[in-house]
Amino acid sequence: MEIIRGLHNLSRQENGCVATIGNFDGVHSGHQHILTQLNKTAQNRQLASIVIIFEPQPQEFFAPKCAPARLTRFRDKAEVIADCGIDKLLVIHFNSSFCQLSADDFVKMILVEKLGIKYLQVGDDFQFGKDRGGNFKTLQKSGGEFGFEVENTPTFSIENKRVSSTRIRQALEAGDMELTRTLLKRPYWMSGHIQHGAKRGRTIGFPTANVPLHRKTPAVFGVFAVKLWGRDLGVCKNNLSDALEKQGSDKQGINGIANIGYRPTVDGKKGLLEVHLFDFDGDLYGKLVHVDFLHKIRDEIKFDSFEILKQQILNDVAEAKKYFASA
């Protein structure tokens, strides 16, 4: 998949395209359904499929303090969109200048002149342009004028409830990882490069692989049974790839336990994902890894001493191993 960062890097799509616009936070099962339909349309019309997203997301720009926690960082979002078979991802920088673009100019300058849009799929509640002056009806009118088709994004439901990023955040907050997995059609995961930490875990017998979150607020907090894996064994090689190979495949991963949060016992200031792996002592520093969150054990809490923390971790590890034994 080609990633086009910014309108200034967008060359005119001479042959036109089919496209959809949205946040696609989490790229959940509803999003995947949309992208599958978009791909079918693209193949039938022999055109490129393009997903258009904004960075930052509009709500993060207008109300950063009230914006919901992201389910996925940009890199993870792009990876899942690529896995859905999309040809191109257009990332529009959402800033004060772009906000001044009228709905009519957005259609003419971007959709028509740059993309040569032939088919556009958006929700019927979609609003765009300066002061949110454009909507689904605006696009339908413009489609008639410029010769492109506009179709409403179908509602996708599971258990008679609409699948949405909000519903997934609620499931994560409740620690319902099974429902989360159902809504996403995969485990909830985060990725990142392992970095050096304070190495406090080693002092109590639980060394951890530390993954910086690079986000203001994570969508999950607490202690979880997890699997760590390296999707690209060219990146995650040596000891990690050896361990993964012994366990069957890279997607099977290595079992472990993780804490995600602010580490109140040591007065942590930045969010961090700390993963303790079972039966593994290789060097992971600098490696790109994915961490699947499979089962929530407890919330993150502050302990009065490292000795009490150590005892709790022993209990957490026992519960995690019990989960893996029964899975």
Q: How confident is the model at residue 145 (pLDDT cuts 50, 70, 90)?
A: very high
**80 plus 12 within the same structural domain:** yes
* 92, 198: one domain: no
* Identity of the residue numbered 105: D
135 lies in the same domain as 30: yes
Residue (of 130, 114, 143) closest to 50 by Cα position: 114
Q: Which residues lie across from 273 on neighbouring strands?
A: 211, 260
Same domain? 154 vs 192: no
Token pair 């064994």 is found at 233
Of residues 212 and 145, the one with the higher pLDDT is 145
**Does residue 201 sit in the same domain as residue 306?**
yes
**What range does the domain containing 93 cover?**
2-158
In a domain, 41, yes or no: yes
Q: Strand 117-122 to strand 88-93: parallel, antiparallel, or no bridges (unpaired)?
A: unpaired
Confidence of residue 307 (pLDDT cuts 50, 70, 90): confident
Extract the tokens encoding 240.
Answer: 């990690």
In this structure, the answer to whether residues 91 and 194 fall within a common structural domain is no
Alpha carbon distance 241, 233 (integer Å): 6
Are both 141 and 205 inside the same structural domain? no
What is the tally of structural domains in the chain? Answer: 2
Helix axes 177-184, 165-173, angle to 10 degrees: 160
Task: Tally the residues of the chain.
Answer: 327
Q: How confident is the model at residue 327 (pLDDT cuts 50, 70, 90)?
A: confident
Q: Rounded distance, CA 6 to CA 9, Å?
A: 6
171 in any annotated domain: no
The predicted model scores a pTM of 0.87
Domain with residue 289: its CATH number is 2.40.30.30
Contacts of 89 (CB under 8 A, 6+ apart): 1, 2, 3, 4, 50, 51, 53, 78, 81, 82
Q: Are residues 137 and 253 in the same domain?
A: no
| pLDDT given at position 302 | 81
Residue 220 has pLDDT above 50, yes or no: yes
Q: Is residue 100 pLDDT above 70, yes or no?
A: yes
Within-domain flag for 105: yes
Give the CATH number, domain containing residue 30. Answer: 3.40.50.620
